[in-house]
Structure 1
């Protein structure tokens, strides 16, 4: 998103109170779900065209990059086309093994006459053919190389200044043109700011979703819990209108500075990253794009302490990671291709109300358990079995083996537990080893995960997402080579037992998280 200069304070107060409402999820979180291998994306990434940036994206586990192929950067005059920047962008993405989500948006002043000097952020109906020339030019030039398209950015917000009806006409015409030129591309409609119910219903009635493979939105909120509520709300609206495609989150993030009420101290950003990403994925989000890869200025060099748009990055532009980068990397490296398995945890009903408990089984047989307190109340737990169990620091990626006699405390900051069978190799069981960074290859060449090792017997696993080509990438977990001991490990789960605090009998892992009003 671009810097928003003029927004009334009354509006922010209105939105702040809107977050206090609850939305009942239109689905069950007790249903196992496969996390797509390419579920992790990054906004405003891939534009430096350097190997250093490509390595960073690989190390962080990013599969998708999102950028706006602005009309005014491609067609400056009626017959003056310049694709040079975007040729470099697409070539670099292919070299890095990243999928591209291209946003087709905004206008050019020349379509309104010589007297116009600035774009209007509005395409009048009689000017739509000009926009379609631009759309067709991009789709034809990069056919088979751009994996997905969005039409416009946040049209229900400050980025579209025309009527809703005019946008519906534009979106429907552009969607049709893209599918005519590149029928195998994935068309992601919407790019909504939050959940504009009337706008969504209007688009649907106007036929703008006819060619859509997915609907996208930007659920900016005060907290991760607010983000989840917006996802649930959108899911409900789409079920109401009968849309059966995927949901993509093409922007979400929290700034660490500036005047946006959504700002969060950098020390708390790892917690927000973990909760936001994990909560969206277990709800069925097909892809989540974090906003964004870099801050606008290096640490301590920002010219403004007020502009929150300068502070959304997970890294500084000099590649120094901010707090939150390790948390994103941890989830992208460990949850991509995994299956959300709520059946892997045995816990009392009381603890279910007190704790957020998200268990996953990876395609390599490794288990992950995320825990945090919903209420802020401290909960003392004992988890079993302990063999092969590690706790991973979400802020640094460091891990330690939990001693057999260890008790630990669950608070509002998420705890990340990892368990692997002793026969499963790949990651040595050192007592103080950082989570390994590695490359995520070109997932476009992979195969959809059709069978997940250790999926619950008699229980169907919900598959999230499929592109028109059926090319959803995945890693196939091979259970044919597993011996009975490994098979038993894959089917076994965690038992969580609430205990009285005994700090002298083990290691206590805890975290603090104070509450701030936040909004974007």
Structure 2
């Protein structure tokens, strides 16, 4: 069993030794719950098709690396988005120092975590927004692909180049992408190139870039559709309004800009439509997402963070457009409970679990290796997504509502139905031809898993469900 209380005890001494600056005063947060889960079923297996990823935020050689990797394994994470920091690797022109990353990649793979390498952050002597800098970046990317071929076969071209991590224009990024993609393939024919990696679902910027880049220069399009504090199903995106429209595009876009009044999947639809218009449909990956649990504007409660993490992942898989989701990040980036950038993790800064840690871990145990079958209900208020486990001859229904109370009706087979909440609390309903043959099930904003033999079917029922 994976016991998160024991995990916290194991890690606390390490944290106190490694981070003395945060140990001087009283802890700013403490979890007081315990969840026992079965071991992750594919603990150290490398599963290329898994949708479950995380942003590792690891530094090669950090002293508590093993604790982080074990926590990711406990979560059931199968992909890690890892920075390969250009300025750390190329410390003099044309001279690359890979050894620390060799060790990091091997340790990640030993824990069943495949690597998505993010190539970003230039040394001072290269400017990637210039032709010469793009050429230097392509050489760096080619060298990375050659060295790690067979160990890292997915490479991301920069991070959020539509925002503060990039000092050039969309045209400059297009030149970088067009140079780096073919260079990577030259070194590793099996490599896959992940393009854009943009903040927001920025279809305006994406259109300017991709019109200038050959479609064969990249394989996957990635984006970071943060939308705190709104739920993914909400037809309003406060974050896009305040940050994208009013800040990034102040004076350029009206406050009724179309994507402000869309759900996450409607925004995604705009991106897929753009790719089709350009004649370059590609799989989509969400390579950053989270709901910040800070106590301040745009924050959400830790319990709601857990609910929304599950809902977002299931929506993404059920959309049939998004292949993988990478949560930002494993742990909080600090201990300030009021700070948005600190409160991002599934775990606290000391790696003790938040509710979202337990919810994510139970989600991977329920859904890893399952096949999406259909959506019995897909909004706007009620969602029921059906997954199939052929090996166990079972269906798994994930059901929730974007409102406090709703009802669905599920057929109860003779073997009965097993219900789990997001933390794995189990309830069983036996078959009764009169009372439970067609069972009315209350659902809420917190998802439930309904498990039974193949052939389960759900229908939406009006409140109160009779």
TM-score, normalised relative to structure 1: 0.67
1:415-439 CA distance string (max 9 Å, x none): 22222x4xxxxxxxxxxxxxxxxxx
Distance 2:394 2:114 in 1: 26
| 1:257 maps to 2:284 | no
| 1:335 maps to 2:362 | no
How far apart are residue 156 of structure 1 and its match?
Answer: 0.8
1:98-134 CA distance string (max 9 Å, x none): 21100111211124xxxxxxxx7x5322332322232
How far apart are residue 499 of structure 1 and its match?
Answer: 7.5
The alignment partner of 1:180 has SS state of helix
1:399 corresponds, among 415, 420, 426, to 426
| 1:42 alignment partner in structure 2 | 54
2:400 corresponds, among 350, 356, 372, to 372
Matches within 5 A, 1:191-270: 191-221=197-227, 222-225=230-233, 226-257=263-294, 259=296, 261=298, 263-270=299-306
| 1:58 alignment partner in structure 2 | 73
Distance 1:352 1:104 in 2: 38
1:477-501 CA distance string (max 9 Å, x none): xxxxxxxxxxxxx3x2324473875
Distance 1:76 1:286 in 2: 35
| 1:493 maps to 2:456 | yes
How far apart are residue 58 of structure 1 and its match?
Answer: 2.3
| 1:362 alignment partner in structure 2 | 389
Distance 1:352 1:161 in 2: 40
Distance 1:286 1:296 in 2: 27
Are the equivalent residues in 2 in contact too, given 1:389–1:402 (CA < 8 A)? yes
Distance 1:267 1:277 in 2: 16
Distance 2:140 2:296 in 1: 36
2:417 corresponds, among 376, 382, 389, to 389
| 1:174 maps to 2:180 | yes
How far apart are residue 150 of structure 1 and its match?
Answer: 0.5
Distance 1:36 1:138 in 2: 20
1:240-297 CA distance string (max 9 Å, x none): 2122321111111111005462x21101112101110000111121111111111124
| 1:143 alignment partner in structure 2 | 149
- Matched residue pairs, number? 377
1:379 and 1:149, CA in 2 relative to 1: closer, same or farther beyond 3 A? same
Structure 2 segments unaligned to the other structure (5+ residues) = 1-46, 234-262
Distance 2:456 2:451 in 1: 12
Are the equivalent residues in 1 in contact too, given 2:383–2:400 (CA < 8 A)? yes
Q: Which has more strand, going by share of residues?
A: 2
How far apart are residue 51 of structure 1 and its match?
Answer: 4.0
Distance 1:308 1:99 in 2: 28
Structure 1 segments unaligned to the other structure (5+ residues) = 1-34, 112-119, 422-489, 504-520
| 1:516 alignment partner in structure 2 | none
Are the equivalent residues in 1 in contact too, given 2:118–2:159 (CA < 8 A)? yes
How far apart are residue 354 of structure 1 and its match?
Answer: 4.4
Distance 1:352 1:190 in 2: 29
1:319 corresponds, among 342, 345, 351, to 351
Matches within 5 A, 1:499-514: none
The alignment partner of 1:130 has SS state of helix
2:448 corresponds, among 404, 415, 436, to 415
1:325-384 CA distance string (max 9 Å, x none): 1222222222233222237x5x8xxx976421212112332211122224x263344432
1:166 and 1:379, CA in 2 relative to 1: closer, same or farther beyond 3 A? closer
Distance 2:76 2:458 in 1: 30
| 1:153 alignment partner in structure 2 | 159
Distance 2:205 2:462 in 1: 50
TM-score, normalised relative to structure 2: 0.74
C-alpha RMSD of matched pairs (Å): 2.7
Are the equivalent residues in 2 in contact too, given 1:339–1:361 (CA < 8 A)? yes
